[in-house]
Amino acid sequence: MEAHVSDLNALSPATRDTARTPSPAEHRLACLIVSALQLEIRPEEIVPEAPLFNTGPGGLGLDSIDALELALAISREHGIELRSDDQRNHQIFASLASLSAYVEAHRATGLLAASPPS
């Protein structure tokens, strides 16, 4: 998925330098994203607040197929039910930070939205 790598390489040095360090939960999720989607980047290269589905500078450039694969990987990893009808999916899948926060908050309840943003 070279498009993902080139998008991350397009980050300005200022953006990369000012990005906050991912939390342990965000790092684990970044590792899952890279592994499940076979991305050609290191998990550390995913900026927590960067958009997952934006192909512009800083965005990871994921598409709807990636989102489905990611949802399945999250379900397998955390044993939670994924819901495709959650109206908050655009917010949930907006960034690594938002997805990680949602996963962490819902791991105990077993509920998670999973439909990718269109």
pLDDT at 109 over 80: no
- Identify whether 92 is part of a domain: yes
- Identify whether 75 is part of a domain: yes
- 42-93 residue pLDDT tens: 999 999 999 999 877 778 999 989 988 999 999 999 877 767 777 888 898 9
- Identify whether 17 is part of a domain: yes
Structure tokens, 40: 């050609």
HEC profile for 56-75? CCCCCCCCHHHHHHHHHHHH
- 6-50 residue pLDDT tens: 444 444 443 445 568 899 999 999 999 999 999 999 999 999 999
Q: H-type helices in the chain, by residue range?
A: 2-9, 13-18, 24-37, 64-78, 89-92, 96-106
- Identify whether 118 is part of a domain: no
- Identify whether 77 is part of a domain: yes
Q: Which domain holds residue 100?
A: 2-113
- Identify whether 94 is part of a domain: yes
Provide the domain count of the chain.
1
Q: Note the pTM of the prediction, 2 decimals.
A: 0.74
- Identify whether 56 is part of a domain: yes
- Identify whether 67 is part of a domain: yes
CATH number for the domain harbouring residue 14: 1.10.1200.10
